[in-house]
Amino acid sequence: MKKSLLVLALLALVAAPVFAQEAAKTEAAAPVAAVAAAPVVEAVVVGDVVSVDAATSTIVVKVVVDAAANTTADKTFTIPADAKLTSGEAQITLADVAAGAKVSVTLANDVVKSVAVNK
């Protein structure tokens, strides 16, 4: 009987760290899954182009902040290399976008995905 209890006690001592390591692996993996499941927030900003700087890949767009009060603000967008720029059906470059043009800027998680010049 004493030998049986001793064997069980030794087995418990050996097995406990193994179970603790498995629990730690599961807890460490949980935050990664939560980050990967974050939703994509999309927005479309419509306004008039104030200026374009092809050298820095930026565009400044005047947008309406409050239509009732007739207030506007200038928003600067950095255009990544993989953003899609179009005018109608045609693909264009940032240098093709002129001041005064009406544009729709599509963002996903605050990153510009496309700029469409509205004709």
Average pLDDT over residues 7-29: 54
Q: How far apart are CA 21 and CA 15, in angstroms?
A: 10
Confidence band, pLDDT 50/70/90 cuts, at residue 38: confident
Is residue 56 located within the same domain as residue 94? yes
pLDDT of residue 39: 87
CATH number at residue 109: 2.40.50.320
Confidence band, pLDDT 50/70/90 cuts, at residue 4: low
- Give one word for 100, left, alpha or beta, with left for phi > 0 and alpha for psi -120 to 50: left
pLDDT of residue 19: 52
Q: How far apart are CA 110 and CA 83, in angstroms?
A: 13
Neighbouring-strand partners of residue 105: 45, 115
Question: In terms of residue numbers, what domain contains 66?
Answer: 42-118
Domain count, the chain: 2
- Pinpoint the alpha helices (H) of 66-114: none
Distances (CA, A) of 75 to 3, 8, 31, 78: 78, 70, 34, 10
Is residue 46 located within the same domain as residue 34? no
Q: Is 23 helix (H, G, I), strand (E, B) or coil?
A: helix
Confidence band, pLDDT 50/70/90 cuts, at residue 78: very high
Is residue 33 located within the same domain as residue 46? no
CA angle 56, 59, 65 (to 5 degrees): 145
Is residue 22 located within the same domain as residue 46? no
Q: How far apart are CA 70 and CA 35, in angstroms?
A: 40
DSSP assigned state of 119? -
Residue 34 pLDDT greater than 70, yes or no: no
